[in-house]
Amino acid sequence: MSELILHHYPTSPFAEKARLLLGFKGLSWRSVKISPVMPKPDLTALTGGYRKTPVLQIGADIYCDTALIARRLEQEKALPAFFPEGQEMIAASFAAWADSVVFQHAVSLVFQPESIAVRFGTLPPEAIKAFIADRTELFSGGSSTKLSTEQAKHQWPTIMSRLELQLQREQGDFLFGEPSIADFALAHCLWFLKATPVTAPLVDAYPAVAAWHARVLGFGHGAFSEMTSEEALEVARTSQPAALPDEQFVDPNGLKAGQQVVIAATDYGVDPVAGELLFAGSEELIVRREDERGGVVHVHFPRFGFRIEAQ
């Protein structure tokens, strides 16, 4: 069986979500560190242009977006479950809300001037300028709009008060009793805020939330070892993609297997990936592409939050 390879960098909130997913499952994995900013030539040789962090690689199969990564890890090890029986819709829908709405608030709060001064205090001005320019580019062209710091501050007490009440009244130790994908989708947003003393009080002021957050982080990151990006490319180049899912091909807009298509995120990081459409299921899209460095790979995307068009 091919190793799980996570392409990530330490300070990425969505990478922290993926690391916690791996820890919750008790899985062993290889760690490939990537640059926080473009260019990322070794990563995009595998993805075909998708630049968001993290990316999961299993042999010659490349999984984009943590929503789909969670579903692939569920296939790898069914229990403990991210989508507990009877709570599949609730858990997935809450996770989508946290990954978009709560994350948008967290970004605005983290990148307020007072927080940036602490977060990037040891970096040279050129590095800070390059990072902000990269993030401006990342968030351009998609449906995601910038939330002002003032509005994020204004709405944050509502979000947190609702969470505090939910956790105070919930009989279990997690958002919906037992742990689920909902906990991890929310936890990484708060982890982002906890990184500096400027924004940490936005979490710590809510005792039930802070205690729950510590429990989620307590799952850890599992067992991992370092791998270079060159080694990861070699794994892809010398591996065969896995068999396609045993599920009916469904595309309401008439796309067919074998067509050349372009797939891109709709919110931000909308860099398009071109390839041959192999599969369209209820949750997942798969395209085949070939790269001189990565070989033949199958790149997997979630259906939700991504657009697909004939090329």
Dump the DSSP string for 95-126. Answer: HHHIIIIIHHHHHHHHTSHHHHHHHTTTS-HH
Q: Where are the domains of the chain?
A: 4-80+223-310, 88-217
What pTM was computed for the model? 0.96
pLDDT value of position 87: 96
Q: Is CATH 3.10.200.10 the right assignment for the domain spanning 4-80+223-310?
A: no
Among 163, 185, 189, residue whose Cα is nearest residue 106: 189
pLDDT value of position 169: 95
User: What is the mean pLDDT of each successive set of 10 residues along the chain, which is 311 residues long?
Assistant: 93 98 98 96 97 98 98 98 97 98 97 89 83 87 91 98 96 96 98 96 98 98 98 98 95 97 96 98 98 97 98 92
What's the Cα-to-Cα distance from 28 to each of 2, 61, 73, rounded to whole Å?
A: 11, 17, 11
- The rounded distance, in Å, linking the Cα atoms of 67 and 162 is 24
pLDDT value of position 132: 85
Among 96, 7, 99, 106, residue whose Cα is nearest residue 52: 7
- The rounded distance, in Å, linking the Cα atoms of 279 and 285 is 6
Do the beta carbons of residue 59 and residue 240 sit within 8 Å? Answer: yes
Q: 88-217: which CATH topology?
A: Glutathione S-transferase Yfyf (Class Pi); Chain A, domain 2 (1.20.1050)
